[in-house]
Structure 1
Amino acid sequence: MSSVYVHIGLPKTGTTHLQDRLWRNRDIALRVADLLYPGNAIDDHFHAAVHLQPGRYLDWVDPEHAKAWPTMVAQMRAWNGNALLSHELFATATAEQVGQLTRDLSFADEIHVVVTVRDLGRQLPSVWQENVKNQRRARLDEFVQRVAAIADDPSLPVGEEGPFWEFQDYVTILKRWEQYVPAERIHIVTVPAKGSSDSLWERFLLALGVDATQLTETVPTANASLSATQTEFLRRLNDRLQPDSIDWARYERIVKGQLIGEILFADAAGPPAELGPAQRDWAAAQASRMIGAVADAGYSVVGTLDDLDVAAESSASTHDGPTQDEVLTVALDLIAELVQRAPLPRVRPRWETKARNVVRRAQRRVTAAVRR
């Protein structure tokens, strides 16, 4: 009996770490757990997700990778054991696209859906920070205000704050998948609360029926979070680096790749931004409604739905925001690091300067002779 597990995210729930570790352990998983993680390259799962949704992800649909999905299907069809697909962009598939995907996987005896979910108290600031890292300029309070408004009226435009619910509304997302996959084959894996003895990796593999101790290859744990002060600096920098003033390729390589990836991540001193008291109250009420909805749906849960409650406010949190001096310090530290890294300006060799001067003198003599 073969099963295909489709891990659909959600974004910002540790998916990149899981996918990196799955790729690192794919040969071991095949050998000891009868689990196929298909694809010839780690980004094949990404290309499968975007090619399923060409209208939404048109900019990312690359004809050179059009064969990624047919190749993965062929690999899974030829395998007698279980297989796993994993990408967070599957979360935005429409009902029609989910139907297409399940038809492509109809060779399997069973299709299961796995969704990783984190509490709104951590998820809202995390998604907001990710938006800031992608040229957005909204403050956290503006972002949460828009998210709350759209929760009440989904017809409202996303606005400057950026999207949230289409990637994070696990109640609605799972209802779409439930049209094609029965509730008992839908598995919610909750991201462990801070201080938990469990790990997301162990919980995720438990949903697949795989012993985590068998997959021994680890991956480095990289810091992927900025401090509240660093994020505020970046948000203000974005005011000067909007699409009408900088090409996205340049922003991505210099701001995301170098400033954030190489410098700010290496010195993310201080905690990330957190929800304020009023924002936390709203998030707690919204989380309670969502938890109740999935509890009534009868999905399998690995971990506990209590993990999705909005935790009490951190004793270390502050809601006054970074001061001007703190933001200035981040900016100056960044400039200092860039000065240390920048290549030295080219200095003309003395012989080149002398040669230019000889040419200039000759030109002046010729000009003077002509005038006479």
Structure 2
Amino acid sequence: METDCTNNEARVNDPRATAGHPAARSLTTAGSRPLTPPTPLPAGTRLLHIGPHKTGTTAIQGALFAAKERMPAYGVEFPATSRHPMQAVLAACARPGMIGDTRPTEGHWNRLVEQVNATGRSTSVISSEFFADAPDDATIARIVEQLGGDRVHVLVTLRPLVRIMPSQWQQYVQNGLRMGYEEWLEHMLRKAPYEKPNPSFWRRHRHDRLVERWVRVVGAERVTVVVVDDRDREGLMRTFEGLLGLPAQLLRPVPDTANRSLTLAETEMLRNLNKEFRDNALPDELYSKLVRNGAVMHMKNTCSPTSRDVKISTPAWAVEAAVAIGAEMTGRIEAMGVRVLGDPGLLSALPKPAGQAGAQPVEEARIAPEVAAQALYGALAAVAGGAGRQPARPVHQTSSKELVKVLGRRCLKRLRRH
């Protein structure tokens, strides 16, 4: 079972760079700098949003897709036929999909390119965090050329590394990772070459090098970096509206419970289940169907975290290392000459100390019985959904009554065979 959805391991020389070095900026909390509306990009621009992961990508993709039918009135097109053209971008970057999923093909990418070309001289926007995983300059150049060449303007959204780390770890767990959070941090921050078990982490989140790779291909004048302020939940929507020349409030948040992060208890439950899967050599396809798209998806759709749930807490040593890396990355990005929207100081701000609720020991992280029940039901519903001749429906659309019927029929068939 793969724990990272990439085959192109990023070979980096100490991605931490000068973490902890005296030259790093002082660890202070950044103040709030209001985000002024950006100057709209020229008409006909193809805005390429490359993420990276965990920087508000799902939220903006949902908002853009929801406004797909209204944007053409303002000369803007969203050419993808789904919220996130993930398969197409994975194919363009020569990457496999999530473990157990169907492998992306060049056909997926060619269809997206055709859809983009069909927008003609209109402004268009393409968004996928997987563009950040492009393995080399040649791949980036091919992507840019096929999507419009000189018409392409690259948009990078950034959040503080210290906020990304716990979110990215639990996402890796959802794709089969079995390593605990603190051990994972040790590997990412203290154990050279800092690329195991997830080589994609620093490929995505050494943000200065990410920006630099795309600048080498398109030039600094065609790259915009947006610093996401978590205190302004709709700030990213307003930024996209400004860049695309859309009226204010056209882009609105779309509820997406399936994209929420897991709590510590949920992540630990899944991590231990991952160990059982690997120890018993079960097939990746089974993991994809029953666990990620069954148990986990249903659990996220039906259970919302409460104030009693323990969040994933980053130890102080890792926080300090992440803040120092953020300071260095910020300095390098600002020196590249790209347009930076938002407050760069946020990327190296020391977060406020967690309250008592956030300092609970791991022993108190207990999965609620109803959450465990929903996860189990999600796995059973995934089995039932694939038992008949009809294509499997999403888990939340499978009724308990239908599930019992399908499982009952399967049991009868097995009894008859014996």
Indicate whether the TM-score tops 0.5: yes
Alpha-carbon RMSD:
3.0
1:307 to 336, 339, 346: 346
Change (3 A) 1:12 1:146: same
Q: Greater CA radius of gyration, 1 or 2?
A: 1
Q: Work out the CA distance in 2 between the residues paired with 1:47 and 1:236.
A: 29
Q: Work out the CA distance in 2 between the residues paired with 1:24 and 1:263.
A: 24
Q: Work out the CA distance in 1 between the residues paired with 2:279 and 2:223.
A: 40
Task: State the shift of 1:95 in Å.
Answer: 0.5
Work out which structure has the larger RCO, using CA pairs closer than 8 Å and 6 or more positions apart in sequence. 2
Match of 1:231 in 2: 267
Q: Deviations over 1:104-137 (max 9, x none)?
A: 24465x4211011111121000000001111111
2:197 to 160, 178, 182: 160
Task: State the shift of 1:337 in Å.
Answer: 7.1
SS at match of 1:293: helix
Provide structure 2 residue ranges, at least 5 long, that are not aligned to the other structure.
Answer: 1-42, 381-399, 410-415
Match of 1:363 in 2: none
Task: State the shift of 1:141 in Å.
Answer: 1.0
Q: Work out the CA distance in 1 between the residues paired with 2:185 and 2:375.
A: 33
Identity %: 23
2:372 to 304, 327, 334: 334
Match of 1:220 in 2: 255
How is 1:269-280 mapped onto 2 (pairs within 5 angstroms)? 269=306, 270-280=309-319
Residues 241 and 248 of structure 2 are in contact (CA less than 8 Å); yes or no, is this contact kept in structure 1? yes
Matched, 1:343 2:407: no
Match of 2:224 in 1: 187
Q: Work out the CA distance in 2 between the residues paired with 1:272 and 1:67.
A: 41
Higher helix share: 1
Matched, 1:170 2:210: no
Change (3 A) 1:279 1:218: closer
How is 1:32-111 mapped onto 2 (pairs within 5 angstroms)? 32=74, 34-43=75-84, 45-54=85-94, 56-57=95-96, 60-62=103-105, 65=108, 67-76=110-119, 78=120, 80-93=121-134, 94-106=136-148, 108=150, 110-111=151-152
Q: Deviations over 1:134-165 (max 9, x none)?
A: 11111111111111146xx5xx2632356311
How is 1:309-324 mapped onto 2 (pairs within 5 angstroms)? 309-315=349-355, 316-318=357-359, 320-323=361-364
Q: Work out the CA distance in 2 between the residues paired with 1:288 and 1:319.
A: 29
**Worse-matched range after superposition: 252-261 or 282-291:** 252-261
Match of 2:291 in 1: 255
Task: State the shift of 1:190 in Å.
Answer: 1.8
Change (3 A) 1:41 1:132: closer
Change (3 A) 1:233 1:210: same
Match of 1:268 in 2: 305
Residues 9 and 87 of structure 1 are in contact (CA less than 8 Å); yes or no, is this contact kept in structure 2? yes
Match of 2:36 in 1: none
Q: Work out the CA distance in 1 between the residues paired with 2:178 and 2:321.
A: 22
Q: Work out the CA distance in 1 between the residues paired with 2:50 and 2:233.
A: 25
* One-letter amino acid of the structure 2 residue matched with residue 284 of structure 1: V
Change (3 A) 1:162 1:255: farther
2:165 to 94, 119, 124: 124
Provide structure 1 residue ranges, at least 5 long, that are not aligned to the other structure.
Answer: 348-355, 357-372
Residues 117 and 190 of structure 1 are in contact (CA less than 8 Å); yes or no, is this contact kept in structure 2? yes
Residues 185 and 318 of structure 2 are in contact (CA less than 8 Å); yes or no, is this contact kept in structure 1? yes
Residues 178 and 274 of structure 2 are in contact (CA less than 8 Å); yes or no, is this contact kept in structure 1? yes
* One-letter amino acid of the structure 2 residue matched with residue 111 of structure 1: V
Q: Count residues with an aligned counterpart.
A: 334
